[in-house]
Each structure stands twice: as structure tokens, then as C-alpha cells.
Structure 1
Amino acid sequence: MQNEAKASKPYVRLATRKDTFELAPRLRQEDVEEVFHSSGMPPELALRFSLAVSNIAYAVVWRGQVIALFGIAGQLTWGEEGATGFPWMLASEELPLIRKSFLRECRGYVEGWLEAHDELEGYAWAENQVHIQWLRWLGFTIDPPVPFGINDQPFQRFYLRKEDHHV
């Protein structure tokens, strides 16, 4: 019984290319639309691209399935000013089911990214309220929506500056 409980506990590990193929068909509809409106890419290609350009990427695994991938892209310039990191995350419908444990863990990743980058920045589709709420909870500033991407859809720039961030 104890092994069953341990097996059902979510965990984070380094992401692999295989994870992108596993997660792509199960992405949340809002994530599929966000990716399409920003880049025109289908889910599999967007996940593979995100993994390829990332300095590091992670898979959230629960009950034997990859339920989210996230990472950070951007030039690593440890100790140099001006380095911007570009965080990203795409998830399946199962992610909210482990919300509490995921939220406890994700702040630590942001803290680590701020050690290597002066600022974290990206754009989230304004209709993807789950992402917007998560980013606010993490302490990101969210700008008003502006036209962005291949369809000029409303996207909101989000950013977090090292100098403004308090642990």
C-alpha cells in the first residue's frame, strides 16, 4: 500500500524529447490555442522547440504520466547585467489535480532562474487565465493585453525583475 501511495505522488525530473510526444496530444485546450496564436505551431512541434531552446527543462510526472513540461530559455550570463530568461510551461488537464504540491515546488524554480537572470519575461495569451493566475501567484507583473503573435491575439507580457523580487 505504501508503494502505491509513493507511486501516485507527483515529482519533477529533467525533461526528454520523448516527453514532448507523450504530452502533446493531452495539452490543455488553452495551451494549444496559446501556442497556435503565438507561433502557429502544432503542440508537438511547440513542445520540441521549447525543449530545444531551453537552458534546462523539466517534466512533471504523476501516476506514470507526464502532465506538464516547463523550462527556461535565454542566454546564461552569470553575474553579468542584462540577462533575460524566458520561462515557459505547457500542461495537461491533470495539472490542477496536483495544484497544491506543484505550487509548493514551482517558486523554487523561479528563485533559481533569478540567480542566473536579471529578469524573467514572456507573453501569455490573455484567454489562458490559468497561466495568468499562476504567474501572478509567482510574483510576476502582468501588463495589459496587446496584440501579439501570428493572429494579433491579445497577449499579456509578464515579467519579474531580480531587483524587485523578494524571497
Structure 2
Amino acid sequence: MAGEIRVLPVRALDVRGVARRMRKADRDEVWKASGLTPIGALIYSLRKSSSAWTVFIDGRAEAIFGVGAINILAGVGAPWLLGTDAIERHAAGFLRGSLEWRDQLLRHYPILRNLVDVDNRVSLRWLRWLGFTIFDPVILRGHEFRPFELRCFDV
């Protein structure tokens, strides 16, 4: 099932739509990591980001992603993406696009690093597919998360 995928700068309207329809794995992950609701997690992530975009599939906002500085001097950024079930329904197009998005983030920060919920299996597979190294679990707020990292010379 192919859908037209476009990526545009994020708008406030996009945040509400994605938050209302956020996939369960992402809702669970943000709750475990921060105790935030989907809308709260998106607003927090956007405030911490230096750049953020909305992924539209067939004209509808289905995911929002961005990157924020962890250490500007060392070139380390924290990438993030929160989306709806549509990203799995349109996996082929989403995967193709995500390679370009990954490279765009690496132009901002040559080292990308963050955490993913150990139960978020789709995200773990996707991160491995993008070339990220997945590390042993760590505990955050009483839940297991796997650190992940990609350096521009890994790509």
C-alpha cells in the first residue's frame, strides 16, 4: 500500500493530530520515559529541538521527528520520532524516506544518540536498519531502555 509521503516543517496543528492518533508503542515509551501524555511529549520534544519536521502520508500528519542538542561542541544530538500506526502501514515509503531524514540529522549533528523502550520492537528494528548501534539496556524511571547511537562515519 503506497502512499504519498512528504516532509514539511512542523506546525501546531500537526502536533494535535499526531498526538491524538499516536501508536501505542510510542505512547507507552513516552509515558515510561517521562510520565508525559502524547501531546505533552510532543510539545516537550519540540521545545528541546533545534530542528523538527512533520511526515505527511497522503496529506495527513502521521509522524513528527526532530533533533535537539545534547552537546553542541561535541556535535552530539538526540534524534526522536513519534508517530501513528500509518507509518507501519506505509512501511516501504517510510523506510525509504527515513534514510534521507537520518542523513539530514547527521548534517546537523555528526553523532546521534538517544534511548528507546526495550518493548518498542518496531522502533528497535527500524533503528538497526538505519545503522544505529543498539546498546545493552539501562534503567530510566524504573523501566528498561536501550541506548542507541550513530556516528556520521558509520553510514
Q: TM above 0.5, one fold? A: yes
- Check whether the contact 1:10–1:98 (CA below 8 A) recurs between aligned residues: no
Query: Which residue number corresponds to residue 121 of structure 1?
Result: 113
Question: Which structure 1 segments of 5+ residues have no match?
Answer: 1-7
Change in Cα spacing, 1:153 to 1:15, as seen in structure 2 (3 Å) is same
Q: Paired residue for 1:92, among 60, 84, 87?
A: 84
Give the superposition deviation at 1:12.
1.2
Which protein has the larger Cα radius of gyration, Structure 1 or Structure 2? 1
TM-score (norm 2): 0.91
Overall identity of the aligned pairs, in %: 31
Output the CA distance in 2 between the equivalents of 1:87 and 1:53.
Answer: 11
- Check whether the contact 2:10–2:64 (CA below 8 A) recurs between aligned residues: yes
Amino acid at match of 1:156: R
TM-score (norm 1): 0.85
Output the CA distance in 2 between the equivalents of 1:105 and 1:94.
Answer: 14
Question: Which structure 2 segments of 5+ residues have no match?
Answer: none
Q: Paired residue for 1:135, among 116, 123, 127?
A: 127
Amino acid at match of 1:26: R
Greater Cα shift, 47-56 or 82-91: 47-56
Give the superposition deviation at 1:57.
0.8
Secondary structure of the residue aligned to 2:43 is helix
Query: Which residue number corresponds to residue 36 of structure 1?
Result: 31
Query: Which residue number corresponds to residue 4 of structure 1?
Result: none
1:101-126 Cα distance to aligned partner (Å, 9 max, x none): 11111112221222232310000000
Q: How does 1:8-157 map to 2 (within 5 A)?
A: 9-74=4-69, 77=72, 82-148=74-140, 150=141, 152-157=142-147
Greater Cα shift, 68-77 or 128-137: 68-77
Q: Which runs of 4+ in 1 moved over 4 A?
A: none
- Check whether the contact 1:123–1:157 (CA below 8 A) recurs between aligned residues: yes
Greater Cα shift, 154-163 or 131-140: 154-163
Give the superposition deviation at 1:76.
8.1
Q: What's the C-alpha RMSD, in Å, of the aligned pairs?
A: 1.6
Output the CA distance in 1 between the equivalents of 2:97 and 2:147.
Answer: 23
